[in-house]
Amino acid sequence: MEQKISKPARERLIRLARLLEQLEKSGKQTVSSAEIQSRTGWTSFTIRRDISMLGVRCANAAGYNVALLKKTIDSVLSLGAAEKRCCIVGLGRLGEALAGFAGFNNSSFVIAAGFDSSTNRTETLRAPFPLYSTSKMEKIIADEKIEYAILAVPESAAEQMALRLAACGIKGIVNYTAAILHLPETTAVENLSVMDALQNLSCKSLN
């Protein structure tokens, strides 16, 4: 029976799934918690405890079965599951860089649309998915069954845009802006602000 998995454990398991994918591609069949420790820096104790929360036995004397452990994490966290449709909101230089990000190609996250307030931008930028004016955002999100949004607008526009995304049922927003977003509980937020990250690092290095 699987237990409720904490946020830090879930974040580690998501990264562990990627490590296992790399190991699987390189032909490795088993991996020990000591090897995982040397690749990630997490202690063997933490690794074993995280894996035990999956509620499935994936280990024998030689270590964890790489393919089985990957499959178990994917299944418990629904990682490899059905296609999840996303959009990019804001097609400045950051949005453009995200539009060209190769990591989406082999993932279950599909970028189905991009939005920008400038129609000049949406008409001239090339992307592997259709681009629209933000004035059509609500309609396209509904039509295209988009569930997640990557927010890369200027900070001053971030809150208003996030509220619009939440209002049309977006389940989660990756917030690249430094804006502090307070949204209804039905819309989760992951903050990826470079300023916050630098400040966290500079605090850490004081300790």
Interface residues with its own copies (CB under 8 A) are 7, 10-11, 14-15, 18-19, 38-41, 77-79, 84, 86, 92-94, 96-98, 100-101, 103-104, 107, 109, 147-148, 150, 155, 171-174, 178, 180, 182-183, 188, 190-192, 194-206
Shortest distance (Å) from residue 165 CB to its own copies: 12
Give CA torsion, residues 79, 26, 55, 60, to 10 deg: 170
120 vs 207, beta carbon nearer its own copies: 207
Which structure tokens are listed for 109? 């996250």
- Shortest Cβ 8–its own copies spacing (Å): 9
In the complex with its own copies, which residue's Cβ is closer, 142 or 194? 194
Tokens in use for 84? 């999840």
In whole angstroms, the minimum distance from the beta carbon of 14 to its own copies comes to 5
Q: Are 69 and 48 in contact (CB under 8 A)?
A: no
Which of residues 61 and 184 has its CB atom nearest to its own copies in the complex? 184
Parallel, antiparallel, or unpaired: how do β-strands 131-133 and 172-175 relate?
unpaired
Residue 192's alpha-carbon distances to 176, 180, 195, 200, 204, in angstroms, are: 5, 11, 9, 12, 17
Least distance from its own copies to the Cβ atom of residue 178, Å: 6
Phi-psi sector, 155: left (phi>0), alpha (psi -120 to 50), beta: alpha
Nearer to its own copies, 11 or 143 (CB): 11
Smallest gap from residue 82 Cβ to its own copies (A): 10
* Distance in Å, CB of 9 to its own copies, minimum: 11
Sequence-distant (≥ 6) Cβ neighbours of residue 131 within 8 angstroms: 91, 113, 114, 115, 116, 121, 122, 123, 125
Q: What are 95's two structure tokens?
A: 């949005």
Instruction: Report helix, strand or coil for 9.
Output: helix
For residue 67, give both structure tokens.
């393919």
Nearer to its own copies, 27 or 103 (CB): 103
Between residues 113 and 183, which has the closer beta carbon with respect to its own copies? 183
